[in-house]
Structure 1
Amino acid sequence: MLARVLPLVLLLASNVFMTFAWYGHLKYRSSPLLLAIVASWGIAFFEYSLMVPANRLGSTVYSVVQLKTIQEILTLVVFAGFSTWYLGQPLKWNHYAAFALIVGAAFLMFYEPGGAASPTPTL
């Protein structure tokens, strides 16, 4: 159970850092661009410090394609909250509809026709 959940927790946390690194500076547009870049690099260090172990651990129970799909879904969830809460730009119905389509795509990524389980990679 922990082998399946820990990578998800690490991916979620890394996405919080990633979102702040990529978009957090937009709240401070008057700050110098160079300062925004350096601050973003600093934040991204923590993102990578969580993302790399998440992928390393996660690859023992998920395929790489599944890991990437999980990461993208988490990115959207984190970004939706960040956009509304931090940047004050609430999402509209069409954004939610687009996210729902992406979640549908994620379902297809994990769907195994005939119930066949995908092989579990080993290290």
Structure 2
Amino acid sequence: MRTIVLLMLSNVFMTFAWYAHLKNLRTRHWLIAVLVSWGIAFFEYLVQVPANRYGYGRFSLAQLKIIQEVITLSIFVPFAVYYMGQPLKMDYLWAGCCLAGAVFFIFRG
């Protein structure tokens, strides 16, 4: 459970590092956006690296990656809709269905 919680927290930082500058720093020079994003990403790595270290061995490398992708979508959709003001689309549901298939195949016996 610790791995999942840490990966969720790291993904919140990652999502903000990758996309929040599109809203908050749109009028600033791109280099400012890079520096701010790197600053946020630093905190993402402080959480993500331990998460993967705790999880590796309990989960395979492929399972860790698929867990991360599921978390990414579950964090990204609310971020896109509520923070960035993007419309909620059915495409998110279909992407989730594809990831459910990935979870099935990567975690089956």
TM surpasses 0.5? yes
Structure 2 partner of 1:32: 29
Q: Which of 3, 8, 11 lines up with 2:7 in the alignment?
A: 11
TM-score, length-scaled by structure 1: 0.84
5+ residue gaps in structure 2?
none
Question: Using the alignment, how far apart are the partners of 1:53 and 1:59 within structure 2?
Answer: 10
Which has the greater radius of gyration? 1
Q: Is the 2:56–2:64 contact (alpha carbons within 8 Å) kept by the matching residues of 1?
A: yes
Between Structure 1 and Structure 2, how many residues are aligned? Answer: 108
Question: Using the alignment, how far apart are the partners of 2:95 and 2:9 within structure 1?
Answer: 23
The alpha-carbon deviation at position 100 of structure 1 amounts to: 1.3
Question: Using the alignment, how far apart are the partners of 1:17 and 1:60 within structure 2?
Answer: 25
Structure 2 partner of 1:49: 46
Q: Secondary structure at the match of 2:3?
A: helix
| Alignment pair present for 1:70 and 2:67 | yes
Structure 2 partner of 1:81: 78
Q: What root-mean-square deviation, in Å, do the aligned CA atoms of Structure 1 and Structure 2 show?
A: 1.0
Question: Using the alignment, how far apart are the partners of 1:100 and 1:39 within structure 2?
Answer: 34
Q: Secondary structure at the match of 1:90?
A: coil
| Alignment pair present for 1:101 and 2:98 | yes
1:3-37 Cα shifts (integer Å, max 9, x gaps) = xx001000000000000000010102112211110
What is the percent sequence identity of the aligned residues? 52
Higher helix share: 2
Question: Using the alignment, how far apart are the partners of 1:107 and 1:24 within structure 2?
Answer: 32
Structure 2 partner of 1:23: 19
5+ residue gaps in structure 1?
113-123
